[in-house]
Amino acid sequence: MPRLLEVNNLTAGIKKDGEIFQILKDVSFFIDEGEIVGLAGESGCGKSMTALSIPNLLPKPVKILGGEIIFNNKQLTSLGEKELCGIRGKEISVIFQDVRQSLNPLMRVGGQITEMLELSGSTDREANKTQALEMLVSLGFEEPEKIFDAFPHQLSGGMCQRVMTAIAAIRRPRLLLADEPSSALDMESQQRILSLLLEMNRKYKTAALIISHDLSIIRQFCSRFLVMYAGRIITGGSNG
C-alpha cells in the first residue's frame, strides 16, 4: 500500500531559560494508505502529544524541535498556518480526548457538525443537516434531531464523545487521529464509534491512528500496534 504518513525522528518539547525539556524523543513510525494503527502506553508517555504533533496542534508552549512529518508527500513541519488549516479537518481530523474543552459551549451541536461541511464548500443547509443527522444515527443517537439542536452542556460526557467523532468524521478525512475515542463510554457506545471508524476505512480507505490504553481494542481493530514509553516508541508489531 502507498505510504500516507511518515514520522521520522520527531522531537518535541519546551524551551525555557535556555534549557530544552523533551516530551517526544526521536519518534519514528509510518501509516500506510487505508491502514489502522494502534498506539498504546501508560498515561503521560507522549501518546497524545504524538498525535497532536502531526497537524501541529500542540498546546502552548510545546513545540516541534526536530524531525519531519510527511503526509501525502507534503512535509508538514515546513508548512505555514494557512496551509495547515487547509489540511486540518479536510485531510487530517482529530478526535480529541478532552471533548468538553474541544466543543464550543455556546454553539449548538448541529451547527458544529455542519460547520465542517460548510468549510469544505457545501452551502446546501438542508443537505448538510441531513448528512449530520445520518452521522448522528450511525453513532447510536435515537433522537438525532434533539441532539442536533442541543448545546454540549445538555449532553453527557459519552454523548459529547460521539458528537466529537461526528465532527471529525463528517468530511471523510484521509487520516483520523483518535485519542482515546472510546474512553468513558459504555460498551455499546464504544462499539458504535469503533465500528464507524471501520466502516469509513472500508468505504473510503480512511487511515487511522487509534490511541488507547485498552489493548483489547488495539488487538481487535488495528492491523499493527506501537508502544510508547517515556516519550519514545519502544516496540511495535503486527496483529495479523
Structure confidence at residue 99 (pLDDT): 80
Residue with cell 513545540: 63
Handedness of CA 220, 44, 158, 197 (dihedral sign): negative
User: Which three three-digit cell numbers place residue 110?
Assistant: 448541529
CA distances from residue 129 to 110, 117, 140, 148, 172 in whole angstroms, order as listed: 7, 10, 17, 9, 16
Structure confidence at residue 157 (pLDDT): 84
User: Which three three-digit cell numbers place residue 88?
Assistant: 486540518
**CB neighbours of 108 closer than 8 A, spacing ≥ 6?**
148, 149, 150, 151
Q: Is the pLDDT of residue 240 over 70?
A: no
User: Which three three-digit cell numbers place residue 97?
Assistant: 480526548
Structure confidence at residue 125 (pLDDT): 95
Structure confidence at residue 169 (pLDDT): 93
Structure confidence at residue 97 (pLDDT): 82
Q: Which domains occur in the chain, in start order?
A: 3-103+173-238 (3.40.50.300)
Q: Is the pLDDT of residue 182 over 80?
A: no
Per-residue pLDDT, averaged over 164-172, amounts to 93
Average pLDDT, the chain: 92
Environment class of 147 (CB within 10 Å of its CB; exposed 0-12, middle 13-18, buried 19+): buried
Maximum average pLDDT range among 67-71, 165-169, 218-222, 235-239: 67-71
pLDDT in tens, 189-228: 788 888 888 999 999 999 999 999 888 889 989 999 999 9
Closest Cα partner for 200 from 64, 35, 82, 80? 35
Structure confidence at residue 164 (pLDDT): 92
Do the strands 3-16 and 63-71 form a parallel or antiparallel pair, or are they unpaired?
antiparallel
Per-residue pLDDT, averaged over 28-37, amounts to 97
**CB neighbours of 103 closer than 8 A, spacing ≥ 6?**
109, 112, 152, 160, 163, 164
Q: Is the pLDDT of residue 129 over 90?
A: yes
pLDDT in tens, 47-105: 999 999 999 999 999 999 999 999 999 999 999 999 999 999 999 999 988 887 889 99
> Would you place residue 184 in the very low, low, confident or very high pLDDT band (cuts 50, 70, 90)?
low
Alpha carbon 51 to chain centroid, angstroms: 7
